[in-house]
């Protein structure tokens, strides 16, 4: 999904950001507050492929989505219909979380690289809490974890991780020990292969999901 445009909107002194995402000709507007989803509503339209994708974001069809998202906030539908219901159940975080893939509720919650990681014990699905702030190291690591989630694998040159993330030195654990430990925490596994580019050989790490 590609972010096409965003606009801000104020309701009861709270500032919201409405973001328009595109996935082919499917356009979706979602509302955010302080960088996190303001509610669970998504407003989507599948436009005919005759629409010009660059122009589509400024059409009336898209304006309707923005208006619907604003109305949801103005009418406080999320607060009235969902939040109150959840609060009435008095659930702990563990009890309230379900796997998006298999809907099972047996979820392991751990903390990895400064944020929560969720893992479904039934199907092995892994996901993470969104970061509020990030740093250089996290950016490299998140590219791997997010890549495995979205594509099923992620490839990166060994030397990049060695230089940028899992540095060796003094009496600290070796590069491979640090890498193995990080993979175990994130339920990942890796294989290495050698890529030849301009007659130069480079070792590549190929990350995939570990199920057991």
Task: Point out which residues bind Zn ion (CB under 5 A).
Answer: 99, 101-102, 104, 120, 122-123, 125
For residue 71, count other CB atoms closer than 10 A to its CB. 12
Instruction: Return the number of the residue (124 or 147) whose C-beta is nearest Zn ion.
Output: 124
Whole-number minimum distance, CB 207 to Zn ion, in Å? 20
Query: Residue 149 CB, nearest distance to Zn ion (Å)?
Result: 13
Per-residue three-class SS string for 108-143? EEEEECCEEEEEECCCCCEEECCCCCCCHHHHHHHH
C-alpha count within 13 angstroms, C-beta hemisphere, residue 1: 11
In the bound state with Zn ion, the residue whose beta carbon lies nearer, of 27 and 187, is: 187
CB of 106 to Zn ion, least distance (A): 8
What is the closest distance, in whole angstroms, from the C-beta atom of residue 134 to Zn ion in the complex? Answer: 27
Whichever of 109 and 123 has its CB closer to Zn ion, that residue is 123
Rank residues 102 and 109 by Cβ distance to Zn ion and give the closer one.
102
Beta-carbon contacts of residue 36 (< 8 Å; ≥ 6 apart): 130
- What span, in angstroms and rounded, lies between the C-alpha atoms of 114 and 129? 10
3-state secondary structure of 34: coil
What three-state secondary structure class fits 97? coil
- Alpha carbon distance 114, 117 (integer Å): 9
Specify the residue, 91 or 123, whose C-beta has the smaller distance to Zn ion: 123
Distance of closest approach, residue 164 Cβ to Zn ion, in angstroms? 32
């Amino acid at each position: 999904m590609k972010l096409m445009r965003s606009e801000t909107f104020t309701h009861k002194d709270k500032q919201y950001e409405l973001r328009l995402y595109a996935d082919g000709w499917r356009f979706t507007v979602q509302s955010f507050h302080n960088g996190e989803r303001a509610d669970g509503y998504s407003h989507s339209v599948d436009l005919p492929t005759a629409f010009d994708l660059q122009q589509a974001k400024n059409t009336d069809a898209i304006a309707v989505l923005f208006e619907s998202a604003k109305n949801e906030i103005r009418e406080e539908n999320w607060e009235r219909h969902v939040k109150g219901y959840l609060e009435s159940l008095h659930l702990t975080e563990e009890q309230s979380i379900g796997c998006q893939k298999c809907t099972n509720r047996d979820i392991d919650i751990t903390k990895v690289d400064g944020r929560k990681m969720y893992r479904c014990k039934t199907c092995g699905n892994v996901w993470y809490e969104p970061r509020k702030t990030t740093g250089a190291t996290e950016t490299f690591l998140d590219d791997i974890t997010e890549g495995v989630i979205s594509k099923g694998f992620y490839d990166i040159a060994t030397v990049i991780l060695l230089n940028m993330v899992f540095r060796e030195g003094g009496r600290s654990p070796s590069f491979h020990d640090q890498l193995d430990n990080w993979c175990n925490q994130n339920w990942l596994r890796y294989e290495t292969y050698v890529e030849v580019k301009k007659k130069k050989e480079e070792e590549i790490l190929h990350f995939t999901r570990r199920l057991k």
